[in-house]
């Protein structure tokens, strides 16, 4: 172990501890999650065997939970890479303990979300048709392309900033040194290597922002490119992007609060981090309300009969409880909690975040189902009730997410150690220099 590593071990031992110490609760949690995932797999195999008849989907509602969850999970993935890239780009110094967790969320959730359209296929083998007979003119294929690009970019963006930390684990010795040596790519922290890494991260963070925005815009196109009432809207692209960032920040804060509590990271994830992210969540809540209001006002003002059928289905009909539940969860609860400093405590922020995640899931439900349940072409109004299979696959998806995070935390630090070190060494000076550069020059002010 070299001298520099030894020193950091003393200061940042709490960040290494989850990797080297494994409590009984970890094994219990992993076992429980594996049981859920195993059960989900059995239920899915049953669906493949019997066909989509085991789900609640039927005419006219042919898209149900799977597509709702697809949009929801891909939305959550915006927590990571996009927020991390924006915070890095804007040189927000408080980002340092947050970015790694945000990036991990993206990689795991995107993999889960991306699988949902395949789960939605009665014959999953037919997904291979996109290789031989896909139509690049279809928004569905735009999705495949943009999600693949986003997943690749996010994985690279997660991996590259992890290299110095992986090298630290390699230098510490202990279990699986060969694994860390393989992943560290010969990092020794020389000036040249630092320069190469910094240049690569800079290019990636600029590149990843348009990719992330394109992904959720393209997902909205699946709906808005059709002439379906409630879907055919030019606002859907930005509306989906705003919703994705909104739900992403909320999910990120739930993860941060959980790991803070579970791994005792109070010294790294302080109230100030949650307050800053809470302010961002509040802004996104207001933006979300603005988009929702604009979307429905345009529909109501136009009063096109088929459009009104969908709107009444949401406002006063079968989906009223989900629609108004969405408004309460996405607007009322977070705004009340986050607008007042008194409520902006960690428990308060946790409540607001959980509320937003539930609200955004309801929003996806409100977008997908009501438009299909009110067909225009000689079909009766439909009612969609998810079956046991769909609920199980949803819970299974959440279990994969938690398991993915737990396994990640067992092999890698969930807070970027080298960035924290860099912050300690350079941030104060750098911020001071930056602030000084904003201020008017004393000589000129006298003049």
The footprint of other proteins (CB under 8 A) covers 131-137, 141-142, 145-146, 148-149, 152-153, 156, 160, 163, 178, 181-182, 185-188, 190, 192-193, 196-197, 199-200, 203-204, 207, 211
What's the closest the beta carbon of residue 167 comes to other proteins, in angstroms?
10
Q: Are 319 and 363 in contact (CB under 8 A)?
A: no
Q: How far apart are CA 177 and CA 158, in angstroms?
A: 20
Residue with Cβ nearer other proteins (36 or 207): 207
Residue with Cβ nearer other proteins (181 or 422): 181
Residue with Cβ nearer other proteins (215 or 253): 215
3-state secondary structure 342-361: CCCCHHHHHHHHHHHHHHHH
Q: Which value, in Å, is the radius of gyration of the alpha carbons in the chain? A: 24
What's the closest the beta carbon of residue 94 comes to other proteins, in angstroms?
27
Residue with Cβ nearer other proteins (37 or 141): 141
What's the closest the beta carbon of residue 103 comes to other proteins, in angstroms?
15
What's the closest the beta carbon of residue 146 comes to other proteins, in angstroms?
8
What's the closest the beta carbon of residue 88 comes to other proteins, in angstroms?
15
Residue with Cβ nearer other proteins (8 or 184): 184
Q: How far is CA 135 from CA 138, 141, 369, in A?
A: 6, 7, 26
Crossing angle of helices 305-315 and 320-327, in 10° steps, is 70
Residue owning tokens 């929702």: 292
3-state secondary structure of 447: coil
What's the closest the beta carbon of residue 205 comes to other proteins, in angstroms?
11
Residue with Cβ nearer other proteins (163 or 284): 163
Residue with Cβ nearer other proteins (142 or 408): 142
What's the closest the beta carbon of residue 153 comes to other proteins, in angstroms?
6
Q: Are 105 and 251 in contact (CB under 8 A)?
A: yes
Cβ–Cβ contacts within 10 Å for residue 250, how many?
A: 29
For 177, the token pair is 């040194």
Residue with Cβ nearer other proteins (11 or 176): 176
Q: How far apart are CA 360 and CA 173, in angstroms?
A: 44
Angle value at C-alpha 94, between 91 and 97, nearest 5 degrees: 115
Residue with Cβ nearer other proteins (23 or 210): 210
Q: How far apart are CA 71 and CA 244, in angstroms?
A: 9
Angle value at C-alpha 126, between 122 and 129, nearest 5 degrees: 155
Q: Are 157 and 208 in contact (CB under 8 A)?
A: yes
What's the closest the beta carbon of residue 158 comes to other proteins, in angstroms?
12
Task: Tally the C-alpha atoms within 13 A of residue 248's C-alpha that lie toward its C-beta.
Answer: 35
Q: Residue 286: CB partners within 8 Å, gap ≥ 6? A: 335
What's the closest the beta carbon of residue 148 comes to other proteins, in angstroms?
7
């Amino acid at each position: 172990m070299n001298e520099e590593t030894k020193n950091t071990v003393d200061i940042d031992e709490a960040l290494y501890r989850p990797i080297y110490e494994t409590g009984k609760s970890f094994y219990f949690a992993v076992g429980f999650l594996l049981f859920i995932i195993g059960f989900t797999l059995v239920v899915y195999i049953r669906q493949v065997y019997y066909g989509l008849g085991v789900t609640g989907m039927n005419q006219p509602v042919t898209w149900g939970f799977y597509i709702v969850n697809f949009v929801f999970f891909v939305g959550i993935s915006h927590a990571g890479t996009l927020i991390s890239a924006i915070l890095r780009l804007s040189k927000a110094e408080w980002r340092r303990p947050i970015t790694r967790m945000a990036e991990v969320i993206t990689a795991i959730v995107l993999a889960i979300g991306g699988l949902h359209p395949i789960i939605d296929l009665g014959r999953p083998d037919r997904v291979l048709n996109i290789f031989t007979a896909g139509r690049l003119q279809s928004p569905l294929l735009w999705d495949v392309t943009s999600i693949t690009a986003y997943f690749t970019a996010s994985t690279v963006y997660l991996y590259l900033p992890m290299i110095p930390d992986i090298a630290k684990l390699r230098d510490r010795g202990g279990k699986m040194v060969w694994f860390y040596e393989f992943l560290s790519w010969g990092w020794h922290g020389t000036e040249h290597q630092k320069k190469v890494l910094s240049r690569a991260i800079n290019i990636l963070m600029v590149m990843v922002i348009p990719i992330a925005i394109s992904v959720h815009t393209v997902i909205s196109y699946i709906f808005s490119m059709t002439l379906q009432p409630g879907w055919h809207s030019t606002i859907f692209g930005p509306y989906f992007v705003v919703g994705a960032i909104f739900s992403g920040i909320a999910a990120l804060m739930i993860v941060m609060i959980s790991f803070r509590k579970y791994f005792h990271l109070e010294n790294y994830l302080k109230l100030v981090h949650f307050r800053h992210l809470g302010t961002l969540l509040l802004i996104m809540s207001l933006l979300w309300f603005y988009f929702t209001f604009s979307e429905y006002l345009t529909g109501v003002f136009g009063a096109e009969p088929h459009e009104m059928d969908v709107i009444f289905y949401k406002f006063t009909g079968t989906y009223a409880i989900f629609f108004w539940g969405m408004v309460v969860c996405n607007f009322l609860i977070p705004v009340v909690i986050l607008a007042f400093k008194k409520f902006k405590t960690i428990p308060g922020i946790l409540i607001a975040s959980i509320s937003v995640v539930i609200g955004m899931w309801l929003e996806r439900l409100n977008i997908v189902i009501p438009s299909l349940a009110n067909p225009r072409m000689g079909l009766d109004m439909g009612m969609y009730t998810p079956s046991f299979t769909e609920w199980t696959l949803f819970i299974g998806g959440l279990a994969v997410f938690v398991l993915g995070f737990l396994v990640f935390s067992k092999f890698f630090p969930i807070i970027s150690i080298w960035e924290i070190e860099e912050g300690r060494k350079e941030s104060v000076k750098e911020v001071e220099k930056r602030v000084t550069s904003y201020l008017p020059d004393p000589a000129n002010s006298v003049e």
